[in-house]
Chains A and B, each alone.
Chain A
């Protein structure tokens, strides 16, 4: 099955991003396809490359970058990003900034859209 993922909450503060990550990893392991991961609302804060948690904690942005390196399309909403100071200069590798139209495309291409957070 093709899954599209929408993440509406920021890293660490809520579990949404962790649940989304675990879902994506599990879905890929079962042979499903991810049509894309879209960060909206405070979710865009998942994409800053300056994230630097204590070493005994998970590094949330590193996990997203690693998924991106595997070819998963990871998109940050430009309007939501600009509000919150996320720009190309602080964007983590393998994540791109684009418009909300990409979320529509990702939705139309997916069998199921799953929203985390909000």
Chain B
């Protein structure tokens, strides 16, 4: 990370395949990863489905991009947060997710957001 790194947060709040936002969002995240900034991701609401294991998009005719989240570690993007209630409301636990995450409460996510230089919603 650069010495003068800025905090940039990506908020994933849409499900993975209903629109292109998460997919193009992830493309932006990977590019940002090359800039040695202090990057974090937050998965909120239906956005938590982005990290659901065992997704198969073959019958949708859509490229499955979800496995790409696993490459984030290689970009030194390790701050991946998931909203506790969003997981719980959807009957999911950390074991259902394809990457290691830190589960946070809404107030905790709120304080993380307050620390950011920039926040991008996808």
B contact residues, range: 10 to 19
Main secondary structure of the interface of B (DSSP, over half): mixed
Given contacts A100-B27, A100-B31, A113-B120, contact A41 B20 (CB under 8 A): yes
Q: Are A80 and B122 in contact (CB under 8 A)?
A: no
Q: Is A21 an interface residue (CB 8 A)?
A: no
Q: Is B37 an interface residue (CB 8 A)?
A: yes
Q: Is B73 an interface residue (CB 8 A)?
A: no
In the complex, the chain B residue whose C-beta lies closest to that of A111 is B117
Q: Interface size of A by Cβ–Cβ distance < 8 Å?
A: 19
Q: Is B21 an interface residue (CB 8 A)?
A: yes
* Cβ proximity bits B54-90 to A, threshold 8 Å, 1 near / 0 not: 0000000000000000000000000000000000000
Q: Is A8 an interface residue (CB 8 A)?
A: yes
* Cβ proximity bits A88-118 to B, threshold 8 Å, 1 near / 0 not: 0000000000011101100110101101001
Q: Are B122 and A118 in contact (CB under 8 A)?
A: yes
Distance in angstroms between the alpha carbons of A113 and B24 in the assembled complex: 18
Q: Are A104 and B21 in contact (CB under 8 A)?
A: no
* Cβ proximity bits B21-45 to A, threshold 8 Å, 1 near / 0 not: 1001001100110110100000000
**A107 contacts which of B20, B24, B118 (Cβ < 8 Å)?**
B118
In the complex, the chain B residue whose C-beta lies closest to that of A107 is B118
Interface residues of B (CB under 8 A from A): 6, 8, 20-21, 24, 27-28, 31-32, 34-35, 37, 117-122
10 more A-B contacts (CB under 8 A) besides A41-B20, A41-B21, A115-B120?
A4-B118, A6-B120, A8-B21, A79-B27, A80-B24, A101-B31, A104-B32, A118-B21, A118-B121, A118-B122
Question: Can you give 21 A-B contacts (C-beta < 8 A)?
Answer: A4-B118, A8-B21, A41-B21, A79-B24, A79-B27, A80-B24, A100-B31, A101-B31, A101-B34, A103-B28, A104-B35, A107-B6, A107-B117, A108-B6, A108-B35, A110-B118, A113-B117, A113-B119, A115-B120, A118-B21, A118-B122
